[in-house]
Chains A and B, each alone.
Chain A
Amino acid sequence: MSERYVISIDQGTTSTRCIVFDHRGQLVSVDQREHAQHFPRPGWVEHDAMEIWRNVEKVVPRALSRAGIDASQIAAIGIANQRETTVVWDRRTGIPVAPAIVWQDTRTDALVEELSRTPGAGEVQRRCGLPLTTYFTGPKLRWLLDHTPGLRERAERGDVLFGTMESWLIWKLTGEHLTDVTNASRTMLMDLSTLDWHRDSLDFFGIPPAVLPEIRSSAGVFGTLRTVLPGVRLAAALGDQQAALFGQTCFTPGEAKCTYGTGSFLLLNTGHGPVRSQHGLLTTVGYRIEGQPAVYALEGSIAITGSLVQWFRDGLGIISTAPEIETLARTVEDNGGCYIVPAFSGLFAPHWRSEARGVIVGLTSYITKGHLARAVLEATGWQTREVVDAMNADSGLMLRTLKVDGGMTSDNLLMQFLADVLDVPVVRPMVAETVSLGAAYAAGLAVGYWPDLEGLRRNWHRAAQWLPDVDPQWRKTEYDNWQRAVERTFGWIQPR
């Protein structure tokens, strides 16, 4: 019998990728297409869901042909997706009624402000484990219903369907209107303990139940493809950060991963019960395997990490490529007393201070661009430390190892600094594409391609490890300096 494979679709913010994986979890082939980012007004970010669908139709067959395999060799397909991005489409024509509102879009800020003063706001936030902000799906869907002529009536009649990106793709691929529990946990409409839509939350946001997809487990058969690869089973869907948690095989409470990209997302497995954060973290569903209880996670979102390096490159022009930050940083021994806090649009976890703005402190005539480069990298390390401290405090689980992935893991200086400031080993796995791998793992698990979680764990191998190697007193002093620098960002934007 010819070898069988699992494929994943990673529908991300800037591109859609299809990756073919073999039984050892190794990458066999990739195809990728970018889609347009539309910025019709300040603060607005839109995607064309039809363009994304057409990209899926292209990348899947091309990834298969690059691997030299056909649909009969595919055991299952899994989806990982950009989270919170909101699509509403016509049930009959299959055409979106408006551009998709992307997670970064802040058009709902006035609506969110108004909703936060509405009775029941506290209860809604407790029920879903999320703060009321423009980031999540519920306010975006409400905005579409309010601002698209005739949409509310069509929604109430059940003529239109709502979904985040995975729902849209599942519907296009199988004809079923479904979502998974990780994506549903980002809408603010789901009750974290029942894992179902909650009537009162729907009423609070003014969402007609007829538009909602059915919530399913993350790993389980959603349906059979009617197009692209007819007959192949679609067996997993997860939000991208949850998929990375799964791909890093963080299956035990206390295991955590951090994905270092433009921003960074640290997720900690907290087991079968949701942990309510007292320290500015999000409570979210990590994954659910069909027939088993859900696994919850605490999430710390850091807005600016890789994008600080990009700013150093494009905004200041001090380096010409991102990896050169390490070369420049190595021209000096330390930060020279300089700290950069990148509160470019306020601070996310654990502070959530929207009025904060970035600072560079400790400037003296001694400071060179090398010290600034150090401070840029150190900002990512200290922001991670703040999130880890909040997680340890909320969960009562002390982080023992941090599994890392994403583009910035190629920066050795940063990875060593991370181990030094967290005082735990930092480990990079052999497959860097953990988002895609997680979706493939969940799909393969659901159809029996891989037997169990232990089998997946055996596929995980350490590619590199950085161990803490600093004096505790240094760590304490530097953290103290960082925290004093953070305080100086607060209150910069004054209320009008």
Chain B
Amino acid sequence: MPGQVQSIARAAAILRLLAGGSGRLGLLEIARALDLPKGTAHGLVRTLQDVGFVEQDKTSGKYQLGAALLHLGTSYLDVNELRSRSINWADPLAARSGEAVRIGTLLDSEVLVVHHVFRPDDTLQTLDVGALLPPHATALGKVLLAYEARGGGFGELVPYTRRTLASPRALARALSAIREAGWGSDIEEMTVGEAGIAAPIRGYGGLVVGAIGISGPVERVCDAHGQPRVTLVTHVREAARAVSRDLGGRGQ
């Protein structure tokens, strides 16, 4: 068992301190109450401020609990905000790959499509923003599952095709491979003849807030050996990194 991380324990103490009493404290009061050097207290408070857990009152300069703490239980990033921030990177991905692009997030135990760019061939296509996809059978969904912190089982794994990962063990192995590689794919796992590639979008602090991916006919998405084409994987990962950078995440 590794030892206690001191700065996390101290940060928690600061939050407890702000949650009690008058609700607003100056830096010196915080340092004194916890018997910390002022510089140490300042560093901790600033970091808590950066993640939104603490706010500083503009006039008095005193600190209080931040709004982000109140929303801890709900969604971290507004889905419409995610679309608005990624639109300039999703378009070039569609243009470069020649395939349709989708961005998804997990909603309960399904993938919610929050953005969709048509395949750039001007054929008739329907916008499927708002549609729900099964996470275990799509590249977007598997990438999201791979980085989901929630433990427990996967629920019912419906076999859509012969290649769907319908056993929890096979799926868990695939998710661990995705974490290893930093991207994921589905090859005829949802629809025969269709394949997809996806990579995680990271927000502030590295938290995965969504996934971006392409999908299309298996013969275009995959090479002669039935593996996702390297150039397409590169395009998808670059787009994911670009959106992540825009969101303040480091993007891997």
The chain A residues found within 8 Å of chain B, CB to CB, are 24, 26-27, 321-327, 407, 409-412, 430-432, 461-466
Interface size on B, residues (CB 8 A): 23
Q: A462-B122, A463-B117, A464-B118 are in contact. Are A432 and B91 (CB under 8 A)?
A: yes
Contact of B78 among A26, A321, A462, A465 (CB under 8 A): A321
Judge whether B84 is part of the interface by a CB distance below 8 angstroms: yes
Q: Across the interface, do A327 and B95 meet the contact criterion of CB distance under 8 Å?
A: no
Q: Tell me the residues in window 92-124 of chain B with beta carbons closer than 8 Å to chain A beta carbons.
A: 92, 94-96, 116-118, 120-122
Nearest B residue (CB) for A319 = B78
Nearest Cβ distance between residue B100 and chain A, in whole angstroms?
Answer: 10
Q: Across the interface, do A461 and B122 meet the contact criterion of CB distance under 8 Å?
A: yes
Q: Across the interface, do B83 and A323 meet the contact criterion of CB distance under 8 Å?
A: yes
The docked-state distance in angstroms from the alpha carbon of A325 to that of B79 is 11
B63-97 near A? 1/0 per residue, CB < 8 Å: 00000000000000011110110011001101110
Q: Across the interface, do B80 and A327 meet the contact criterion of CB distance under 8 Å?
A: yes
The docked-state distance in angstroms from the alpha carbon of A51 to that of B81 is 33
Q: Across the interface, do A322 and B91 meet the contact criterion of CB distance under 8 Å?
A: no
The docked-state distance in angstroms from the alpha carbon of A302 to that of B127 is 28
Q: Across the interface, do B87 and A326 meet the contact criterion of CB distance under 8 Å?
A: no
The docked-state distance in angstroms from the alpha carbon of A461 to that of B93 is 13
Judge whether B129 is part of the interface by a CB distance below 8 angstroms: yes
Q: Tell me the residues in window 127-161 of chain B with beta carbons closer than 8 Å to chain A beta carbons.
A: 127, 129-130
Nearest A residue (CB) for B82 = A323
B81 — which chain A residues lie within 8 A by C-beta?
321, 323-324
12 of the cross-chain contacts (CB-CB < 8 Å) are A321-B78, A321-B81, A323-B80, A323-B84, A327-B78, A327-B79, A410-B80, A410-B84, A411-B80, A412-B80, A462-B118, A463-B118
Q: Across the interface, do B95 and A461 meet the contact criterion of CB distance under 8 Å?
A: yes
A323 — which chain B residues lie within 8 A by C-beta?
78, 80-81, 83-84
Nearest Cβ distance between residue B147 and chain A, in whole angstroms?
Answer: 23
B92 — which chain A residues lie within 8 A by C-beta?
26-27
B40-70 near A? 1/0 per residue, CB < 8 Å: 0000000000000000000000000000000
The docked-state distance in angstroms from the alpha carbon of A326 to that of B130 is 13
B91 — which chain A residues lie within 8 A by C-beta?
430-432, 463
Nearest B residue (CB) for A407 = B84
Q: Across the interface, do A26 and B95 meet the contact criterion of CB distance under 8 Å?
A: yes
Q: Across the interface, do B118 and A410 meet the contact criterion of CB distance under 8 Å?
A: no
Contact of A326 among B80, B117, B127 (CB under 8 A): B80
Interface majority SS (helix, strand, loop, mixed), chain A:
mixed
B122 — which chain A residues lie within 8 A by C-beta?
461-462
Nearest Cβ distance between residue B67 and chain A, in whole angstroms?
Answer: 8
A27 — which chain B residues lie within 8 A by C-beta?
92
Q: Across the interface, do B95 and A430 meet the contact criterion of CB distance under 8 Å?
A: yes
Q: Which of A24, A322, A462 has the most B CB atoms < 10 Å from its CB?
A: A462
Q: Across the interface, do B120 and A410 meet the contact criterion of CB distance under 8 Å?
A: no
The docked-state distance in angstroms from the alpha carbon of A321 to that of B116 is 21
The docked-state distance in angstroms from the alpha carbon of A242 to that of B80 is 30
The docked-state distance in angstroms from the alpha carbon of A432 to that of B86 is 12
Nearest A residue (CB) for B114 = A412
Q: A26-B95, A430-B95 are in contact. Are A412 and B129 (CB under 8 A)?
A: yes
Q: Which of A27, A321, A409, A464 has the most B CB atoms < 10 Å from its CB?
A: A464
A431 — which chain B residues lie within 8 A by C-beta?
91, 95
Q: Tell me the residues in window 145-202 of chain B with beta carbons closer than 8 Å to chain A beta carbons.
A: none
Q: A323-B83, A410-B87 are in contact. Are A430 and B129 (CB under 8 A)?
A: no
The docked-state distance in angstroms from the alpha carbon of A412 to that of B115 is 9
Contact of A465 among B80, B83, B96, B118 (CB under 8 A): B118
Nearest A residue (CB) for B116 = A464
The docked-state distance in angstroms from the alpha carbon of A24 to that of B98 is 13
Q: Across the interface, do B120 and A465 meet the contact criterion of CB distance under 8 Å?
A: no
Nearest Cβ distance between residue B101 and chain A, in whole angstroms?
Answer: 9
Q: Across the interface, do A463 and B94 meet the contact criterion of CB distance under 8 Å?
A: yes
With contacts A430-B120, A461-B122 known, what are 13 further pairs, Cβ within 8 A? A26-B95, A26-B96, A322-B84, A323-B80, A323-B81, A323-B84, A324-B81, A410-B87, A411-B80, A412-B127, A430-B94, A430-B95, A461-B120
Nearest Cβ distance between residue B217 and chain A, in whole angstroms?
Answer: 18
Nearest Cβ distance between residue A262 and chain B, in whole angstroms?
Answer: 15
Q: Across the interface, do B117 and A24 meet the contact criterion of CB distance under 8 Å?
A: no
A463 — which chain B residues lie within 8 A by C-beta?
91, 94, 117-118, 120
The docked-state distance in angstroms from the alpha carbon of A241 to that of B74 is 41
A465 — which chain B residues lie within 8 A by C-beta?
118, 125, 127
Q: A463-B94, A463-B117 are in contact. Are A432 and B78 (CB under 8 A)?
A: no
Q: A461-B95, A462-B118 are in contact. Are A432 and B129 (CB under 8 A)?
A: no
A412 — which chain B residues lie within 8 A by C-beta?
80, 83, 127, 129-130
Q: Which of A407, A430, A431 has the most B CB atoms < 10 Å from its CB?
A: A430
A24 — which chain B residues lie within 8 A by C-beta?
95
B78 — which chain A residues lie within 8 A by C-beta?
321, 323-324, 327
Q: Across the interface, do B84 and A464 meet the contact criterion of CB distance under 8 Å?
A: no
B80 — which chain A residues lie within 8 A by C-beta?
323-327, 410-412
The docked-state distance in angstroms from the alpha carbon of A432 to that of B120 is 14
Nearest Cβ distance between residue A146 and chain B, in whole angstroms?
Answer: 44
Q: A324-B78, A412-B129 are in contact. Are A464 and B117 (CB under 8 A)?
A: yes
Q: Which of B79, B80, B87, B129 has the most A CB atoms < 10 Å from its CB?
A: B80
Please provide the 4 A-B residue pairs with the shortest distance between their CB atoms, ordered closest to farther: A323-B80, A461-B120, A323-B84, A410-B84
Q: Across the interface, do B87 and A432 meet the contact criterion of CB distance under 8 Å?
A: yes
Nearest B residue (CB) for A460 = B122
Q: Across the interface, do A464 and B127 meet the contact criterion of CB distance under 8 Å?
A: yes
A462 — which chain B residues lie within 8 A by C-beta?
118, 120, 122, 125
The docked-state distance in angstroms from the alpha carbon of A327 to that of B96 is 31
A326 — which chain B residues lie within 8 A by C-beta?
80
Nearest Cβ distance between residue A326 and chain B, in whole angstroms?
Answer: 4
The docked-state distance in angstroms from the alpha carbon of A26 to that of B96 is 9
The docked-state distance in angstroms from the alpha carbon of A322 to that of B81 is 8
Nearest B residue (CB) for A458 = B122
The docked-state distance in angstroms from the alpha carbon of A465 to that of B95 is 16
Nearest B residue (CB) for A321 = B81
The docked-state distance in angstroms from the alpha carbon of A26 to that of B94 is 11
The docked-state distance in angstroms from the alpha carbon of A431 to that of B118 is 12
B117 — which chain A residues lie within 8 A by C-beta?
430, 463-464
The docked-state distance in angstroms from the alpha carbon of A148 to that of B199 is 60
